[in-house]
Copies of this chain bind each other. A is one copy, B any other.
């Protein structure tokens, strides 16, 4: 990638619609577009002020391609920091392609995925963690993940990291200064103040690292495996939770062979429900594979939900125990939520019996949609949303998480060095390493491979 040329891409989703936007960015953006645009008022684009809109035609010689609205942004007052033109054209795939091809013939290059945001980063319009938040923001599907991405995009996370990095850098400079005066045995860096800073950094890093567990859940949704014997109504419950007909529901035991994943938002938090095949003994090869997959999915889920048929439990109150024990023995640490379905088929005394027999049993009827809302509330209680409510910085990105882990490791080495009264030259090495990992997050220290990796996950046009 060279960053001297002018790039073009469709910035709106592909397909037909009322309007599409073609984005052009680079030093020559305005000079390339100007001769291809005939303003309704004979205005020369090159002489128009930044942040103005102009109606006219995109022309290829004498041939009019489309009537468009052109937005002008003069660098550095643009998304990329470069001269930028946004062409708002009619939303036809044909027109989009014709205009993009015209621009390419006239000196633009087709942009790669994320290249506009990459340029924004390279031109200092945002740091790396803010750039990453742009992609998160676009893919956010619920209130919580949106809120975290917005906070990160607006620099909440970066500011915290940058502040710590700056304080650490000040001490590093003082300690390194001591090295120049090594023979004189002076201490420019006050060791008590430094210990206070190290403790503070450790506390913040630990908080950020701990936030990743909830951050990851908020970003990706909390995975819940719904497990149970065939025909207990897993697909029906999934449908009731999703409020739509998503899974194939049938009376034949063993209908659901593939696992079905879907996400719903409860109280702004995403929950990924994984509907699995049951775990009864079977001779059917395909179903055996399904059972193996069920165990795999429970392993990946944060919560296992065992779904029982209330009628069956009444008939044989010990049968369900076998099921529970199977899961508990395999996954002793995993929270297990036991739910009895089909309570619409029971009378009041049977329900009382059920409640007496099994403590903490959640009763519901997926078919009648009774007890489903209460189940949603119970699921929500599994997530500690305190950090979210308090607007704390939450780490959601595994790249940041790894950098934070490494930074903490180095800071702990510095702590150890302080405890052992190590000399400044030795302390300085570990401090530099910690600074390096802080810099990785915000992009002050980076390399082309990392950048390539990050921006390849963006969509074209962003």
- Interface check A417, CB cutoff 8 A: no
Please state if A150 and B116 are interface contacts (CB–CB under 8 Å).
no
- Interface check A123, CB cutoff 8 A: no
Please state if B459 and A16 are interface contacts (CB–CB under 8 Å).
yes
Q: Which residues of B contact A134 (CB under 8 A)?
A: 90
Q: Measured between alpha carbons, how far is A71 from B88 in the docked complex, in Å?
A: 11
Report A123-152 residues with CB < 8 Å from chain B CB.
134, 137-143, 146, 150
Please state if B11 and A13 are interface contacts (CB–CB under 8 Å).
no
Q: Which residues of B contact A116 (CB under 8 A)?
A: 18
Q: Mark A349-381, 1 if CB is under 8 A from B, else 0.
A: 000000000000000000000000000000000
Q: Which residues of B contact A460 (CB under 8 A)?
A: 18
Q: Measured between alpha carbons, how far is A71 from B92 in the docked complex, in Å?
A: 22
Q: Mark A72-114, 1 if CB is under 8 A from B, else 0.
A: 0100000000000010101111110010000000000000000
Q: Measured between alpha carbons, how far is A65 from B146 in the docked complex, in Å?
A: 8
Interface size on A, residues (CB 8 A): 51
Q: List 18 A-B contacts (CB under 8 A).
A: A12-B12, A12-B17, A12-B18, A13-B15, A13-B16, A15-B15, A17-B138, A17-B459, A18-B462, A19-B23, A19-B461, A53-B73, A64-B154, A69-B71, A86-B88, A91-B138, A94-B142, A94-B146
Q: Measured between alpha carbons, how far is A142 from B15 in the docked complex, in Å?
A: 15
Please state if B21 and A12 are interface contacts (CB–CB under 8 Å).
yes
Please state if A138 and B66 are interface contacts (CB–CB under 8 Å).
no
Q: Measured between alpha carbons, how far is A241 from B14 in the docked complex, in Å?
A: 25
From B13, B93, B150, A20 is in contact (CB under 8 Å) with: B13
Given contacts A64-B150, A66-B150, A154-B64, contact A91 B13 (CB under 8 A): yes
Q: Which residues of B contact A293 (CB under 8 A)?
A: none
Please state if B15 and A19 are interface contacts (CB–CB under 8 Å).
no
Q: Measured between alpha carbons, how far is A13 from B143 in the docked complex, in Å?
A: 22
Please state if A459 and B139 are interface contacts (CB–CB under 8 Å).
no
Q: Closest Cβ of chain B: how far from A145's Cβ, in Å? A: 8
Closest-by-CB residue of B relative to A72 is B53
Q: Measured between alpha carbons, how far is A93 from B138 in the docked complex, in Å?
A: 8
Q: Which residues of B contact A94 (CB under 8 A)?
A: 140-143, 146
- Interface check A316, CB cutoff 8 A: no
- Interface check A220, CB cutoff 8 A: no
Q: Which residues of B contact A20 (CB under 8 A)?
A: 12-13
- Interface check A153, CB cutoff 8 A: yes
